[in-house]
Chain A
Amino acid sequence: MKARWLVIALALTAASTQANAFDLGKILEERINKELDKKDKSKQPQQPAQTAPAQQPATTQNAAANPPPAKQKIDARQLGFALFGDYSLEDENRIGHQIAGNLLGAVSLVRDDALQRYVNLVGNWVALQSGRSDVTWRFGVLDTEDINAFAAPGGYVFVTKGLYRLLDNEAELAGVLGHEIAHVTQKHHLKVLKQSTLIGALGQAASNKAQGSDQIVQNLIGNGAEIMARGLDKEAEFEADRIGMVFAARAGYDPWGLPTVLQDMAGLPAKDERTSLLYKTHPHPADRLAALGEAVGGRMDNVRGKDLPDRFYRIK
């Protein structure tokens, strides 16, 4: 199985390297055209595609209304960032470092070394199943009764004390951490940055001058750790549920840890203030259960794993 993943990974790497080497320009061009074409169409939804423009008398008029997109000046290197989110590992680490440091400016770590060490051990073991070994994984429990968890690019993962208190065994912790680890492996936050800031800020961040300056990264991520308050789109959360459940199962845990935590959250009173930020940034647990159920069906029926309730570290 490991070998199979390695083969797939190698194949993907080879494919993408090739694409970069030979087809990047073409892909970019196609992508730009597609995007501009789409915008064009959205302006005139009822207008049928002009397949043979040279023979259409109306073409001149259309062209006047919509100047040809190809004339726009586009820096292909910046667009590479804008369209594909091709942050280097160094950029990813810098962005994550800044976000994590800001988050820790809003709320500190629980002063319990045994707890923090335990969460790092479980988290690193789950992260070992994620296929992402190019980042240093760091886990922390935040000293707040809010019920939430956060991930930042570069391998930073946090759970709040409030969420930790809901957990009953190690498999549930592994499921929660698996969800956050999945946000990192899928680069969900980097994709949000890519979409929200687009070319200007990204070009700045990518320039050589910007290297090593945290202020540039701060410009990119907005104010403080507000990116954590904005959240991701629903599909990213559903995907992290699917992947996180699998990461925990691959780590040898009972796969039902994450679903059980979602059930517990679904059972909390709707007006519980400890979940207000969580529900601002995540779909309702009932929606997450339903979406996860669609994906899981009977696929986990034969997966057996451990709960480890006895080893689970309980907060005093």
Chain B
Amino acid sequence: MKRFRIPFAALAACLAVSTAWAAPGTVLRNDKLYAQPSAAATVAGSVAKGANVEVLSKQGGWLRVTAGRTTGWIRLLSVRVGAGGLGGAGIGDVVGAATTKSDPSRVVAVAGLRGLNDEELKTAKFNPEEMARLEAQGVSGAQARSFASQGGLAAASVPALPGPEPKQSSSSWGNN
């Protein structure tokens, strides 16, 4: 069941038995490597967008990586784990369009394996029985609060994240 969870599960399993194993990763944005998983720690080096790193372990929002001869901690969101390189980052429109949007061979062939595709969704008919099932499984806010407190969860004050710098939008529809 967990076989799909390639980067971190494999990483954890391998770290348990060996320190020689590492997963490949690609740096998504210019960033620093720190001696500890904290921006307050000493800076051990810096890496540029597109650089290849070896991912050694993960802790919260940090990854321990080796870049060239430097090993240090980098923010989780500054690295893409896996062998796909930059993937779509920066060149997403080209690669993404070629590999995922217009390639007809990517349409799921449903044979045995239950899959979802455009045609299935397009021809779908309203299913009142499943809707009734969905409604019946709903829970109340009070039940959710009680469930949260059982798990030791408490609502926290976390500010919203800023959106990207506004680009010169040519459309007045854009921000509606």
* B147 on the A face (CB < 8 A): yes
Contact at A250–B76, with CB atoms within 8 Å? no
Q: Does A124 contact B (CB under 8 A)?
A: yes
B117, A293: Cβ atoms closer than 8 Å: no
Contacts of B89 in A (CB 8 A): 284, 286-287, 289-290
Tell me which of A12-20, A87-95, A203-211, A241-249 binds B: A241-249
What 1/0 mask marks residues of chain B from 136 to 156 whose CB sits below 8 Å from any chain A CB? Answer: 011111011101100111111
Tell me whether B13 is interfacial, beta carbon within 8 Å: no
| A239-B88 contact in complex given A120-B137, A144-B116, A306-B152, C-beta closer than 8 Å | no
Name B127's contact: one of A105, A146, A279 (CB within 8 Å): A105
Q: Assess whether A229 is in contact with B6, with CB atoms less than 8 Å apart.
A: no
Q: Please tell me if B99 contacts chain A, counting CB pairs below 8 Å.
A: yes
The A interface is mostly helix, strand or loop, or mixed, namely helix
Asked whether A75 is an interface residue with its Cβ less than 8 Å from the other chain, the reply is no
Identify which of residues 55-91 in chain B touch chain A, using a CB-to-CB cut-off of 8 Å: 58, 60-61, 75-78, 80-84, 86-90
Q: Which residues of A contact B109 (CB under 8 A)?
A: 273
**Size class of the contact patch on chain A:** 35 or more
Chain A 206-224, CB-CB to B under 8 Å as 1, else 0, gives: 0000000010000000111
Using CB atoms and an 8 Å cutoff, list the residues of chain A in contact with chain B. Answer: 1, 31, 34-35, 38, 83-85, 97-98, 100-109, 113, 116-117, 120-122, 124-125, 127-129, 133, 136-140, 143-146, 148, 156, 160, 165-166, 168, 170, 191, 194-195, 214, 222-226, 228-229, 238-239, 242-243, 245-246, 249-256, 259-260, 263-264, 266-268, 270, 273-274, 276-277, 279-280, 283-287, 289-301, 303, 305-306, 308, 311, 314-315
**A-B pairs with lowest CB-CB distance, top 5:** A286-B87, A284-B88, A293-B77, A267-B82, A124-B144
Residues of B within 8 A of A (CB): 1-2, 4-9, 23, 26, 28-29, 38-39, 58, 60-61, 75-78, 80-84, 86-90, 92, 95-96, 99-101, 106-109, 113-118, 120-128, 130-131, 133-135, 137-141, 143-145, 147-148, 151-164, 171-173, 176
22 contacts between A and B (CB under 8 A): A84-B176, A105-B127, A107-B120, A120-B138, A124-B143, A125-B144, A125-B153, A127-B144, A128-B144, A138-B134, A139-B137, A224-B122, A229-B118, A259-B61, A259-B76, A263-B80, A264-B5, A264-B6, A283-B88, A287-B88, A290-B77, A294-B29
